[in-house]
Amino acid sequence: MTSRQHSQRPRGSSLLLVLWAIMLMSFAIIGLVRHLDSHLDDSIIAAKQFRARHLLQSARTLADHPAISRGDPLLHQQLSPTESYQVTISSEGVRLAVNQLATSGTQRRFASRLFESWGLDAKAARSLTDAIADWIDADATPRTHGAELDAYLPLDHPDFPHNRPFSNLDDLLLVRDFSLVDHLQPDWRRWFTLFGDGSIDLHLAPPDLLAILFDVTIPEVSRFTTARLGPDGIDVSIDDPAFSSIKEVRALLDVPEPNFKEVAPILTLHHPVRRTECLATVGNLERRLTVLQGPGIYLVREE
């Protein structure tokens, strides 16, 4: 073996060790970079969350100012290409007060028509409405089409119904056959409220809800809902008129008198429970804040 061959072996081994060292260093650097990237992403998300919450609180403070009214342009602001907030001021009078079904025949008829509009037949709608009322009332006597204990025993629910008002809308899913509604109308929650006196806010209730309430078609309420938009024709804007009396509204509704009289007791122009919904956007992050305020009610939910 020549001296040249002897000298090549250590050099080859050294080169191999150097390559291994470089590879190990590369793995270490890659791991470090990933670790730093992960922490950087967490920091960016935390900063966005903080900024979004700051925007929500600013929007909420603005909405509570006495000089700000529904539809004010200040309630919708694009602060930068990546940051904005929107505030919607409404009331619980644009929803059916589900806990009123146990005591109000008007509300029960309203609920039955609502369920029919979602695809239930008349019998199923009445049955579900009575079942909800039976869930709320304190007695154990079922209504004509309702459901008390005997209706739930075959379903392995000996503790149903609860015989008290709902404290969570999701509990409606426990009522017999309410799953039909959940299937036909997945966004049913936005149609119900647990708060307020059960009155319907004529300034804010959407046309489809008014049509169901009066048991008419949407064209029969459209003259009123168009007048409600104000001169600019835009829903919820600064020029929307404030009606001074139910009589003034009645003159604009092309609704048969018996239909109007049936629900007149639950109509209002000033609902007692105000709903403020704030949406803050920071980049691709969205945060929401909902505030309910009224007599004996102050609820704040952030998500």
pLDDT by residue (tens digit) across 243-301? 999 999 999 999 999 999 999 999 999 999 999 999 999 999 999 999 999 999 999 99
Does the pLDDT value for residue 138 go beyond 90?
yes
Q: Is residue 268 part of a domain?
A: no
Instruction: Please identify, among 61, 91, 121, the residue that sits at the C-terminal boundary of a domain.
Output: 91
Instruction: Please tell me the pTM assigned to this model.
Output: 0.82
What is the structure's pLDDT at 165? 96
**Same domain as 162, residue 135:** yes
**Same domain as 113, residue 76:** no
What is the structure's pLDDT at 89? 94
**Same domain as 84, residue 69:** yes
What is the structure's pLDDT at 213? 98
**Same domain as 103, residue 86:** no
Does the pLDDT value for residue 1 go beyond 60?
no
* Average pLDDT value for the chain: 90
Q: Is residue 24 part of a domain?
A: yes
What is the structure's pLDDT at 196? 87
Instruction: Please identify, among 150, 165, 192, the residue that sits at the C-terminal boundary of a domain.
Output: 192
What is the structure's pLDDT at 70? 87
Q: Are 246 and 201 in contact (CB under 8 A)?
A: no
**Same domain as 111, residue 66:** no
Q: Is residue 85 part of a domain?
A: yes
How would residue 41 be classed by pLDDT, with cut points 50, 70 and 90? low
Kindly state the average pLDDT of the residues 207-218.
Answer: 97
More confident residue, 9 or 82: 82
Q: Is residue 46 part of a domain?
A: yes
Does the pLDDT value for residue 225 go beyond 70?
yes
**Same domain as 139, residue 57:** no
In which domain, by residue range, is 181 found? 98-192
- Distance separating alpha carbons of residues 264 and 170, to the nearest angstrom: 30
What is the structure's pLDDT at 35? 57
What is the structure's pLDDT at 272? 96
Q: Is residue 113 part of a domain?
A: yes
**Same domain as 103, residue 183:** yes
Q: Is residue 225 part of a domain?
A: no
| DSSP H or E run through 55 | helix 3-64
Burial class (CB in 10 A: 0-12, 13-18, 19+), 116: middle
Q: Is residue 65 part of a domain?
A: yes
**Same domain as 103, residue 85:** no
Instruction: Please identify, among 132, 162, 192, the residue that sits at the C-terminal boundary of a domain.
Output: 192
Structure tokens at 55: 């925007």
Kindly state the average pLDDT of the residues 29-58.
Answer: 75
Does the pLDDT value for residue 190 go beyond 60?
yes
**Same domain as 55, residue 22:** yes
Kindly state the average pLDDT of the residues 14-42.
Answer: 65
Percent of the chain with pLDDT over 90: 79
Q: Is residue 222 part of a domain?
A: no
- Report how many domains make up the chain: 2
CATH number at residue 161: 1.10.40.60
CA separation, residue 51 to residues 38, 61, 83, 99 (Å): 20, 15, 9, 38
How would residue 236 be classed by pLDDT, with cut points 50, 70 and 90? confident
What is the structure's pLDDT at 208? 97
Q: Are 71 and 237 in contact (CB under 8 A)?
A: yes
Does the pLDDT value for residue 167 go beyond 90?
yes
